[in-house]
Structure 1
């Protein structure tokens, strides 16, 4: 199968797109053409991929990127077996002549408008029903993959969920130590940038540094640079996911201080799962999914929940972990066990690839029988909107592909 994968918004080395989904396709023997803003992000492409560079859609500069993407997709998509795109913006750039098309829904696009700093405030709420309308239009004309179970309620029909899991090593490489805490992921006001800076100021007198690993939006960047200069935080900027995960090994805790925003209320932050996979205790704001994962599992607790917008409480939680090796190690063991049992990406990877194969074959005139399968923590149903059995003996064969 030849897949065209496209984004104009995400970083070309986005963990979900490159390190999970594209890697799964390549490992399954498929070929990939990857359309992404490589040059603007300073990324050297993977030699295993055929890549096409496009401008980045950022802030209010989106029309040029979408025009370029439309031309590139019109050229490359018709010869592919499947087109997988990752930005709602690309709904405006899809060519008429295209193969089986799949939109990977990463976020609640309408709810996220409320926290987009580049969008004028008077337009944010009026645009929400328009975005919902685009989602309904897309649902009628293409396949959808959802990144969260909580996204199901936005759509009329059932669609498969490919959760943001991660690679979980058999054992953490290092036990959680002392002297530093880690934040991994994009940095913005709604993701707790100001709280991270204040946390760093509060922890610095105790000899604990806050390491921030991730890119930032334009509005937050000056604050992070100033905090870096005063040594309140150590900000590394964007780091490829595989390298970033190695960097957080051995930290006292992983930090997630999301604000109480509609877009986050039904989402499990990937960073929380990544912290657990690396054996880090978690300190998180009470985002419902994160709070339930950290404190309400049968296996026990793997971290602490602190109030929204309360860096003092976050600092207190870190200091408690810093002073107790026993507590750190208990949270570490529990979190890693939960991640390994329920959030190990290779289990999902086979199901993800099989779903794309199923859709591509079905639209080529081949029928694939529905299956119901159980993946740890999830129930998936195929051929009506679900992921098939990862251990199926053979993928569907399309003679004309």
Structure 2
């Protein structure tokens, strides 16, 4: 007699349902392993639809100070759908409150830890300065409670310091093509990801203005602060801003570029987290130009796949790009080295199988 397929309820109220880690990595890995997936996410709020082969449940979006309604709805969905799930996979700290007290009535609750939320609070414009420290303390307390009651997955090895016990790490790697991509070109500079001031949005506009001989292409949604600045720069012919593009399509668009940018600011939330876009650039055969956050600089050193410039240093960024544009042999060597490294070390073809194995093990334990 065959055992039934494991059932997994995946929940987010914060992330875009097209989030690369959730939609384009984890869910395909679960489906490939034969699991049945229900995906509860803010589809209508973002104008998205559920992926093929997945049951979709629409939730409100938790955004800024408007979060309570989404948490309440998520709690109702977890309580109802989670009764028949073996694993309930949560992707937001907000959902720890939604799942509180439901542990015995639903499948095994797993929190996938994406970021250092307490550090990120200092960057949230909607959080009043006087409340930031109390909220950071509250987040750390919530992490301790979650560790005691739920299973945890970590997206970064560096997150382990925040917890008392060891937890499995599922790196934020990406799909790396089996065959080497085409060589990098000489004029197009790309950026893939959300565009905000702390993520280097203004520096990228300044680079585009300073190096008009290069074609700057930015792929990804922008926040309210950056949106008018990007629209003005695009209207002036200084850059091309494409807005949101699904991750699988967007990563293909990177191929043949001169370089990919990751100009994060020196912020606590970025200090030790590896920007996924660096591995995405390398996987598509282009050199990276990045600021010296610890994990970013370590990847560049380990891979030999790019150049590190100072925080906020537009002049150094422009110089690095112009040097790559002049020196074809250098940019090809960086691209080859970066691709080989991520193919061997930062590859979801391998990490996705381990992720599915972990979830399957938790599902089996929940059924027993």
Aligned counterparts of 1:134 and 1:212: Cα–Cα separation in 2: 36
Partner of 2:295: 289
Counterpart secondary structure, 2:218: strand
1:137-286 equivalences under 5 Å are 137-204=145-212, 206=213, 208-286=214-292
Counterpart secondary structure, 1:93: helix
Aligned counterparts of 1:46 and 1:305: Cα–Cα separation in 2: 37
Question: Under a length normalisation based on structure 1, what TM-score does the superposition of the two structures give?
Answer: 0.88
Counterpart secondary structure, 2:31: helix
Deviation, 1:338, is 0.3
Question: Under a length normalisation based on structure 2, what TM-score does the superposition of the two structures give?
Answer: 0.95
Deviation, 1:362, is 2.1
Counterpart secondary structure, 1:115: coil
Deviation, 1:225, is 1.8
Aligned counterparts of 1:218 and 1:134: Cα–Cα separation in 2: 29
Deviates more, 1:9-18 or 1:64-73: 64-73
Aligned counterparts of 1:69 and 1:219: Cα–Cα separation in 2: 29
Deviates more, 1:222-231 or 1:328-337: 222-231
Structure 1 stretches of 5 or more lacking a match? 366-401
Q: Please point out which of 62, 82, 90 is paired with 1:85.
A: 90
1:1-400 equivalences under 5 Å are 1-94=6-99, 96=102, 97-204=105-212, 206=213, 208-294=214-300, 296-297=301-302, 301-365=304-368
> What RMSD in Å do the two structures reach over aligned CA positions?
1.2
Aligned counterparts of 1:124 and 1:63: Cα–Cα separation in 2: 18
The CA deviation string for residues 182-207 of structure 1, in whole angstroms up to 9 with x for no partner, is 10111111111111111111111x2x
Aligned counterparts of 1:73 and 1:361: Cα–Cα separation in 2: 19
Counterpart secondary structure, 2:9: strand
Aligned counterparts of 1:218 and 1:117: Cα–Cα separation in 2: 11
Deviation, 1:124, is 1.4
Partner of 2:3: none
Deviation, 1:135, is 0.3
Task: Decide whether the 8 Å contact of 1:182 with 1:212 is kept in 2.
Answer: yes
| Deviation beyond 6 Å, 4+ runs, structure 1 | none
Deviation, 1:231, is 2.3
Deviation, 1:172, is 3.3
Aligned counterparts of 2:21 and 2:127: Cα–Cα separation in 1: 25
Aligned counterparts of 1:314 and 1:119: Cα–Cα separation in 2: 32
Compare relative contact order (CA 8 Å, sep 6+) and give the higher one, 1 or 2. Answer: 2
Task: Decide whether the 8 Å contact of 2:87 with 2:366 is kept in 1.
Answer: no
Partner of 1:372: none
Aligned counterparts of 1:76 and 1:167: Cα–Cα separation in 2: 30
Partner of 1:395: none
Task: Decide whether the 8 Å contact of 2:39 with 2:50 is kept in 1.
Answer: no
Task: Decide whether the 8 Å contact of 2:184 with 2:256 is kept in 1.
Answer: yes
Task: Decide whether the 8 Å contact of 1:117 with 1:219 is kept in 2.
Answer: no
